[in-house]
A and B are shown apart, each in its own frame.
Chain A
């Protein structure tokens, strides 16, 4: 038993990235190393098992190769063992190592938001793999994917979302012919496709099924946002049983448990009015038959083998707008371009809170509850819940949202270890990445080193950690994820956050603090709280509040 833990597993698995050399990251990051040793870390494996350890972990280049336990029982059995050594030793005493998280649905948005802005925030909050929407064009996304795969940039691994038929020469008629789907999928796969959105085929169940099967057969996976506009044709159960790999967000579930095939759209409803669209997307849950939804619907989805990808965090503003718009990190860490996109505005996607009433927040509170019950039931019956944020939209700032999403999964009643499993092991399996998602010899070195136990408090994963008590009962603030390791490259997360802060400060230059949302809350004489020394991770109090001006 014990011996197997020392067995050196194959080094060839990571070969495609093993030559990648991280250079030019200044003090932000370094690696991969020939031998990187993390000493004395407690380990959360990722598959739902409990924390164990401490371990010394050896990483050779980008692969975990050894894990030596130092718990008293193992140490006693083994006798005095020499500690592992390497080119770099990270002392992780009192810290917890878990797999890097894989966000299966996210956005990079467009200029003027720097690519580094969301990349650094995600890394600093533990995300080492993402499925980004191709917001800046698929070619741009593929270029970024390659840059990251070669460790030329500091960014999570990427598997961009492809539209059906992207980078092929098939015409519309061919793309809509179910018989052609296998050829199309093969051609896409040959060009590196992994994740395909079924968004363009929800209107046609036969085509939907053909594309889903063809993509999977070609080695890819499919993802679907089931828009209310076509739920009368393909709802969640139908999508699941037609073979979609994962269902994003909350759409299509309540619609699977109605007493008719369309929800009770009010007579003024216009799908292209986002205020209407999002209001009714919440209120549809009030129409769903609860016992059918949590019974046969959950069963059907489990049986058809679909993965749930909730992305709850991006909808939280809908149940509580003030929470979303006054989160404490907006001033320091939310890019002005994102703030501008977030501000209520009928002309932007996701900026529909211009007439968002207490009733709307009630609908969405109810929706979150029943949706949460569905997630819990699905998980309980053996369904696979995965992890995504859809962040960089609707007040969901990248990075911070990655941690909040964990809390919102915990809120459904899933155990914290199940939540971590969703974000690591389950998401890796959904993505068909057999060497990601576990802390285990032979797996790729995508890890996070956390100050404190995330299974004790998921909030310890925030870059600003959380308040807790030391052994003497004295309050202090933990330091968040100290290092994220992606493909063997070790980030200095505190430095990444400083870079983010600089980008944000630059983006806000010359922008008055008052906007439609903040205007009522800015004191007439605005208090300035200079903080030239920084405060991140400090125990106790730092930073000065200056005089009013």
Chain B
């Protein structure tokens, strides 16, 4: 155990730019961001620690380089006890009076998609909506993912910390297909993957062979890596969630495999027309299977087994929300201004794209998925209640889940299960840091890395305050106003100016839509014949 902790600590040092106080080189990214600073002080902030504890403060927070080094409380009791204390000073002072500081969020499953979307589009949205670390599928190739992760680690780009998610065998060389299917070879393969700097192994297609799953999961642990599993319905007759958990998998992604752990048989009642390769079928039945599950067993014995085997739940509810309410997903208010046209095109119903299966999506399908969200939510709630670890991921940049916005919506969808707002924040910070094996991430606390959010308003009062557009609320005089969202995200000591990031996103989106000349099948019925006079309603200075 001690050895592993030491290994983690050394990795942290390797991966961060310049950590030693007093030797920091402050970098600027135009007016988008600057940092790290020798001494950055956040003054007067209320603090949500991240481990589930309640807000407290206000505090002055000192960040030296990329590390939180001091937190001085200014609540009346502390102030009275201490007597007059000098406020902390530094190279940069951020007045956070009335604002809340919480740890940066860690999205354990997300996508960068491909080149039609600028990579900065994703990075900026993620940062502006509080994600400072992500496990991203290597959608643009393994080399690209490793290069980007390296650049982020050195703060050469404005992006969350990245831990690419790759298939088993990626980064290892010299193994045949037969060898990759052999449990006995797993220790060697995983060792090479670890040596290539990888942290997270995707187990997705391996459910057909439980011995292999077990061997890889063990090898991953032995090498300081973690495993992440999307239990495909095509293989759940072999590997259910309970079996995956007890085979030692670190985290189970999405909703798959749970209901299948509580059936009255080994296979769900696939309709006779079912074709796994037809995504309309696939997603319809992935919702329907929850109607077949034995509720009592699922929320009892299955939950206990999952906890007993120590697996982490990674729900990523937001990417499935379109399945219970397509109209909602396709008419979210930010699409016009902030959803990239490439993503929009991928979202449009189309049998040829992954995740674009809403071409015959009926009220029954939405009912199946509403029912699935309920029971799945009850499972998450029960798992959390009995001591299981719920982590945070979005799987966004797919199926109408626009990056960034989806991070906040995911919090709401966890809250919807009945988890407390503070537990939800814990899932997104402390729990996800632990799952990822990052002992210096996920808390606001001296000695922890400076991955922080400065939020206009209390996210434990209203999670929607974390949207870039904030939310409507009342001031002390009862007058309505709109909060400003996460004003600054601090990642590895670098302070982003989130309003500016969102402007850059808006520009990229405008460019992406400039050439679109045809109303698509989703919006066509709602385009008025007469358009209101164009105005610049919210022109900024």
Contact = CB atoms under 8 A, between A and B. Distances in A.
Given A359-B421, A458-B363, A545-B516, A527 B539 contact: no
B524 interface: yes
Contacts of B334: 521
A267 interface: no
A37 B537 CA distance: 53
Contact of B526 (A332, A358, A514): A332
A523 interface: yes
Contacts of B464: 357-358
Interface of B is mostly: loop
B380 to A, nearest CB: 14
B520 interface: yes
B177 interface: no
A412 to B, nearest CB: 9
Interface stretch (B200-208, B266-274, B366-374): B366-374
Contacts of B327: 327-328
A548 B506 CA distance: 14
A545 B528 contact: no
B482 A354 contact: no
A160 B97 CA distance: 55
A543 B534 contact: no
B331 interface: yes
A511 B532 contact: yes
Contacts of B144: none
Interface stretch (B101-109, B184-192, B466-474): B466-474
Given A355-B474, A513-B535, A535 B524 contact: yes
Contacts of B367: 407, 410-411, 413
A521 B519 contact: no
A536 B473 contact: no
Interface string B483-516: 0000000000000000000000010011001101
Interface stretch (A134-142, A383-391, A462-470): A462-470
Contacts, number: 224
Interface of A is mostly: loop
A332 B529 CA distance: 8
Contact of A358 (B411, B469, B509, B522): B411
Nearest to B526: A328
A531 B529 contact: yes
Interface residues of A, number: 86
Nearest to A359: B421
Interface stretch (B3-11, B62-70, B247-255, B354-362): B354-362
A407 B539 CA distance: 39
Interface in A497-546: 501, 504-505, 508-509, 511-514, 516-532, 534-536, 538, 540-546
Interface stretch (A111-119, A150-158, A203-211, A360-368): A360-368
For A362, A407, A517, A542, the residue with the greatest tally of chain B CB atoms inside 10 Å of its CB is A362
Interface stretch (A28-36, A181-189, A317-325): A317-325
Contact of A535 (B328, B363, B471, B525): B525
A345 B366 CA distance: 32
Interface string B312-338: 000000000000010110111110111
Given A357-B463, A514-B537, A527-B513, 15 more contacts: A320-B328, A326-B331, A328-B526, A358-B415, A362-B416, A410-B363, A411-B370, A513-B532, A519-B537, A524-B539, A525-B534, A526-B534, A527-B336, A531-B529, A548-B510
Interface of B: 325, 327-328, 330-334, 336-338, 349-351, 358-364, 366-367, 370-371, 374, 411-412, 415-416, 418, 421, 461-464, 468-474, 478, 480, 482, 506, 509-510, 513-514, 516-532, 534-540
8 contacts: A344-B480, A356-B471, A362-B415, A416-B363, A520-B469, A521-B334, A522-B336, A522-B538
